[in-house]
Structure 1
Amino acid sequence: MDTLRALSAFVHSVELGSLSGAARALDTTQPTVSKLVAGLERSLGVRLLRRAATGLSLTEEGQRFHERARRMLEDYGDAVADARAQVQQPRGLLRLSAPVTLGQRHLNAMAIEFLRLYPDIELELALDDRFVDPREERIDVSLRVGGALPPDLVARHLGSWPRVLVASPAYVAARGKPRTPNDLLAHDYLRYAAGDDGVLLTGPDGAVAVPVRSRYRVNNAVALLDSVLAGAGVSLQPTWMVADLLAQGKLVRVLARHTGPAQELHLLYAPRRQLPLRVQVLVDFLAQRVAALPGAAKATRR
């Protein structure tokens, strides 16, 4: 039995959800894929897949075997690339995950630049605000904004971006600027829907908690920023989000001596003895470009 071919047939069947899908991906026939998977099961002495009219499902043994089989194929692919001297020219498919707003505001342009630099690489950019585990979802690199860091992943720290209070010039002209944190109580304060009422600020006299309530809350950061630009109120925004708008005069900063909790940005990827060159160049590219986003505090390594 061709073990590598059988492993590939099994992994493709699982991840594409059918033997026919695996056959198309591998440019072979469904009976061939079925024979390869059956031969693999015989050699292992366990059943890996349940076959039914509704589709395929993994047995308990199959679930445990699938992740290791996938990693074996990845390692083999990396070894083949090295043997063929492809290490000098990165190539292949990369999957990158990032929060929606960061992707829309900055990362999409970075992705286009990256593809121009590396013409033999294909890139899938998945924008999602939930935490994405690179190993479980076949993501090569995940860009994380805040949140706890998984201990079993490599986390490359890119920098810190403070949050600042901003409003539109039209709002300030109509309502005036707050002079002290407690003045926010008399203003329309806009916030992200997942947060709590109130805002924590740090200024010349230390930390202060202001019990502002928000009449308008939205669960999308782009919509929240659009509301601020439209003059709906004051909001606390990370500097990577608003530095260019402040420079253009489309927003103004209020309570300029006060900032909110900083946002930390990290790149996450699975630990490996040696990163494939295509992953390494993406990590290095993003580390340089993201760290240069406007408004960053001095970057540190973690």
Structure 2
Amino acid sequence: MDTLRSLQCFVRAVELGSLSAVAREQHTTQSNISKIVAALEEDLGVRLLERSTASLSPTVPGRRFYERARGVLEEYADAVADVRGESAAASGLLRINAPVALGQFRLNGFVQEFLRQYPGIEVELILNDRMVDMVEEGVDIAVRLGGELPPNVVARRIGASPRLLVAAPSYLKAHGTPQAPQDLAAHEYIRFAWASSGDALELTDGTRSVTVATHGRYRVNNALAIRDTLAAGGGIGLCPEWLVQDLLAQRKLRRVLRDWQGSAQELHLLYPSRRYLPHRVRLMLDFLQQRFG
């Protein structure tokens, strides 16, 4: 049995979710790929893949074996590139997870730039606002906002975005402009539905800190919806600058209480805690740190 090829076929089967897709990629037949993976399972004495007419997925031991096998193949590829003097070359699949709004407004553009720079690399960008299990879901890099981070990962802090009070000119014209933090209590305050602090809003002017009790009839668990609501004149909100800076530049939103801000929103790059990081992962980590910074 050609162990290296067996590992390659198995790893790509997990990543592509189909033996036929692996066959097309390797310019061979599906039955040939099936025989190679079956021989690997027989050699290991473990069932690695659950097969059906509609889908293919790794078993529990198959998922664990996939993580180790992928690392072996990546180390081998880097070793080959190094001995050939091709250390600058990079290839393979990168899975990145990020919050929806950050992905749409910033990360998507950065990934397009990265792909132009490294034509041998593929990227799957998965956007959602939940905290993923990086190992279980095969994520190489997760981009996370805020200070709460999951255990068992390595976190690289790459920056922080100021959080500003903003509102649409139409709202301020209709309801007046707050002159002090305490005035916010009389306004419609639009906030994230799952904010741990609830209606309590903490602000600072750099020397003093205050906590204001806000009130709002609308709460939503999506940053893009908050952005749209504020632009439509729904109320006042505290937003990270990256989310609203284009609307501020277009004067569709205005700063409120310019001397006061919320705590900065921290940005981290996360990756699984493991000894070996593939070359492409290191390249993307450094690239995103530079761009976000």
**TM-score per shorter chain, which class?**
0.7 to 0.9
Q: Deviations over 1:137-194 (max 9, x none)?
A: 3333221111422343222111122312111222222222112222112111111222
Equivalent pairs counted in the alignment come to: 291
| 2:178 is the alignment partner of 1:183 | no
Q: Distance in 2 between matches of 1:124 and 1:57?
A: 18
Q: Distance in 1 between matches of 2:64 and 2:230?
A: 49
Q: Distance in 2 between matches of 1:13 and 1:121?
A: 18
Q: Distance in 1 between matches of 2:55 and 2:249?
A: 55
The within-5 A match list for 1:67-146 is 67-146=67-146
- Identity within the alignment, %: 55
Q: Deviations over 1:208-232 (max 9, x none)?
A: 3322221122232122112212222
Give 1:73 shift: 2.3
Q: Distance in 2 between matches of 1:60 and 1:226?
A: 42
Q: Distance in 2 between matches of 1:115 and 1:46?
A: 37
Q: Which moved more, 1:64-73 or 1:271-280?
A: 271-280
| 2:8 is the alignment partner of 1:8 | yes
Match of 2:166 in 1: 166
| 2:229 is the alignment partner of 1:231 | no
Q: Which moved more, 1:196-205 or 1:141-150?
A: 196-205
Q: Which moved more, 1:26-35 or 1:2-11?
A: 26-35
Match of 2:217 in 1: 215
Whether the aligned pair in 1 keeps the contact of 2:71 and 2:278 (CA below 8 Å) is no
The within-5 A match list for 1:51-70 is 51=51, 56=56, 58-70=58-70
Match of 2:43 in 1: 43
Q: Deviations over 1:185-208 (max 9, x none)?
A: 211111122223332223467433
Give 1:53 shift: 5.4
Give 1:16 shift: 3.9
User: Which residue identity is paired with 1:31?
Assistant: S
User: Which residue identity is paired with 2:76?
Assistant: Y
Q: Distance in 1 between matches of 2:159 and 2:271?
A: 17
Match of 2:289 in 1: 287
Q: Distance in 1 between matches of 2:89 and 2:61?
A: 38
Give me the TM-score of the superposition, normalised by structure 2: 0.85
Whether the aligned pair in 2 keeps the contact of 1:9 and 1:33 (CA below 8 Å) is yes
Give 1:105 shift: 1.8
Q: Distance in 1 between matches of 2:88 and 2:124?
A: 22
Whether the aligned pair in 1 keeps the contact of 2:187 and 2:216 (CA below 8 Å) is no
For residues 247 and 82 of structure 1, do their structure 2 counterparts lie closer, same or farther at Cα, with a shift above 3 Å needed? Answer: same
For residues 36 and 89 of structure 1, do their structure 2 counterparts lie closer, same or farther at Cα, with a shift above 3 Å needed? Answer: closer
Whether the aligned pair in 1 keeps the contact of 2:78 and 2:87 (CA below 8 Å) is no
Give 1:60 shift: 4.8
Please tell me the root mean square deviation across aligned C-alpha atoms, in Å.
2.8
Unaligned stretches of 5+ residues in structure 2: none
Give me the TM-score of the superposition, normalised by structure 1: 0.82
Give 1:18 shift: 4.3
For residues 57 and 98 of structure 1, do their structure 2 counterparts lie closer, same or farther at Cα, with a shift above 3 Å needed? Answer: closer
Give 1:59 shift: 4.7
Whether the aligned pair in 1 keeps the contact of 2:204 and 2:261 (CA below 8 Å) is yes
Whether the aligned pair in 2 keeps the contact of 1:23 and 1:33 (CA below 8 Å) is yes
